[in-house]
């Protein structure tokens, strides 16, 4: 049972960091074009990682 929760945690963590890295690499203009404020990046990454579970 613990093994599965560890696997889920690691997957969610990987998704979080991938989304965070990708969005932080965007310029402010690119973020604005897709409707994202730079201050919302961590929340978006967190939500993406939760959807993965």
DSSP secondary structure, 1-53, as one string: -HHHHHHHHHHHHHHHHHHHHHHHTS-HHHHHHTT--GGGHHHHHHHHHHHT-
- Whether the pLDDT of residue 53 is over 80: the answer is no
CA distance 41 to 48: 11
Domain ranges of the chain: 9-51
For the cut 90, the answer to whether the pLDDT of residue 2 exceeds it is no
Over residues 8-34, the pLDDT tens digits come to 999 999 999 999 999 999 999 999 999
CA distance 6 to 23: 26
* pTM, 2 dp: 0.84
């Amino acid at each position: 049972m613990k093994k599965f929760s560890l696997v889920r945690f690691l997957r969610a963590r990987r998704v979080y960091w991938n989304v965070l890295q990708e969005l932080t690499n965007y310029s402010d203009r690119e973020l604005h074009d897709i409707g994202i404020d730079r201050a919302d990046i961590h929340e978006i990454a967190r939500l993406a990682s939760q959807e993965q579970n």
